Structure 1
Amino acid sequence: MKKAVEAKRDVFPTEIRLAAEELSVAVKHEEHKPSTLVFLAPSKSLLHILDKIGPTMAVLRQDVQRNIERLEKIYLIDPSLYSSLGEILKKEMDDGTARKRDSCSRAILWLTRSLNFSLALLEFLEKESEWSLEKIVEESYKSTLKPWHGWISSAAYKVALKLIPEKEVFSSFLMSDDEQDCNSLKDDIQMLVSLLRPLLDEINALLRKFRLDRIKST
């Protein structure tokens, strides 16, 4: 019976499991830490998770998409030079452009913060079974993005919070098959979190090193 369940999960992987598997493969082939391509893998998966929450996360999704495109563009200019996030940050710091609004350093910063938000959301979703999705999103936001948002961004978030779907609906969106249960989703969340946390710890430390971690938005 256990083998049958595992086989079914392989045939119908959840969105979370797909993200974990993609990140796992990227980490195994990582040559420069933290790698630009490894960082982009969970960033792109984040877009799918935000899509599942719905149009309430449209503003955050647009921001994530824009920052992904900015990093991809510079990486394609010279993959050998820009294969490492550290090299991108160092070059822009040396050029004096790291703090500019359209810099890749800011793209790395806000993608990292968005992933910090996603990590907190997944952990709350897995651990706080009694919480509504609204509370999970609110607590995730308060502990990750809110300290760095100005009044405009905070106001947009407050409007979005009122339109968040029920947790059961969101969880069902994350599962790829009606017959999958919450336990398999929790297992997949734990797997993704175990891969994502060390990567984010590394990048957050890098941002602190270059003193970019205190930048705020409007």
Structure 2
Amino acid sequence: MAAAIPPGGTLLDTFKKSFVDVPIDAEKDNAISTAEFLEAAESLTTMFDVLGSVAFSPVKSDMLGNVKKLRDRFLAAPLESETIQSLCLNELKTKKHTATEGLLWLTRGLEFTCLALSQNVSKPTEELSDSFRSAYGVTLKPHHGFLIKPVFSAAMSACPYRKDFYSKLGSDQEKVAAELRTYTAALDKIVAILKGFLERKEAKW
């Protein structure tokens, strides 16, 4: 479950790591630091606890399962896996792609969440279910089979009312909105880097 929010703070203050704090080495082809990235991805999944519906459990467990695939590879070959990109490229050299495929699905899940939250923050009158449904349509839905789509559709319909969700993120609504904007902007940048990386020939299996 999500941790208790400190007085005057927001839910983002309870995250072990924020995407804002994930090191990206611009001089090394935007290499993303593995340890911090995985912690930030894990922290993000507590957002689904705040969404409050068991319908979001599959979304959360799917993302955590993909984080685990990457972490298992990181722990198995730490020196070759200091950045997400090197982790995947070195794994592919072994003719395996468990972690790399995990990254592909994790990136899709992160893009879905990022798009839904950033759209919702930018449209103060839009309900969460509409933002999440619209984000799902352009991120995960095209890759999901007919068995998975109803599970995610149920989650979209089970979103809490906007006012109830934001009140759980913190008491100062202006601060909540400002921090969410900063957070989703940082996540959006990371998603764009990862999508570009996964499109490359050397990242295919």
Q: What range describes the TM-score normalised by the shorter chain of this pair?
A: 0.7 to 0.9
Structure number with bigger Rg: 1
Q: Distance in 2 between matches of 1:149 and 1:84?
A: 28
- Taking the TM superposition and a 5 Å limit, the aligned residue runs for 1:20-169 are 22-27=18-23, 33-54=31-52, 55-98=54-97, 103-169=98-164
- 1:34 CA displacement: 1.8
Q: Alpha-carbon deviations, 1:141-195, whole Å to 9, x = none? A: 11211111111111211222332221111111222xxxx2321111001111232
- Gaps of at least 5 residues in structure 2 are none
Q: Distance in 1 between matches of 2:34 and 2:178?
A: 27
Q: Distance in 2 between matches of 1:31 and 1:20?
A: 27
For 1:37, give the aligned amino acid.
A
Report SS of the residue matched to 1:80: helix
1:204 to 191, 195, 201: 195
- 1:132 CA displacement: 1.3
Counterpart residue number, 2:176: 185
Q: Distance in 1 between matches of 2:101 and 2:17?
A: 27
Q: Distance in 2 between matches of 1:61 and 1:20?
A: 17
**TM-score (ref. length: structure 1):** 0.79
CA RMSD of superposed structures (Å): 2.8
Q: Alpha-carbon deviations, 1:73-94, whole Å to 9, x = none? A: 2212232211122222223333
Work out whether residues 30 and 38 of structure 1, in 8 Å CA contact, stay in contact via their aligned partners in 2: no
> Runs ≥4 in structure 1, deviation > 6 angstroms?
28-32
**TM-score (ref. length: structure 2):** 0.84
1:16 to 12, 19, 29: 12
Identical positions, percent: 20
Q: Alpha-carbon deviations, 1:108-127, whole Å to 9, x = none? A: 11111111011111111211
Report SS of the residue matched to 2:45: helix
Counterpart residue number, 1:6: none
- 1:211 CA displacement: 7.3
Number of residues of Structure 1 aligned to a counterpart in Structure 2? 198
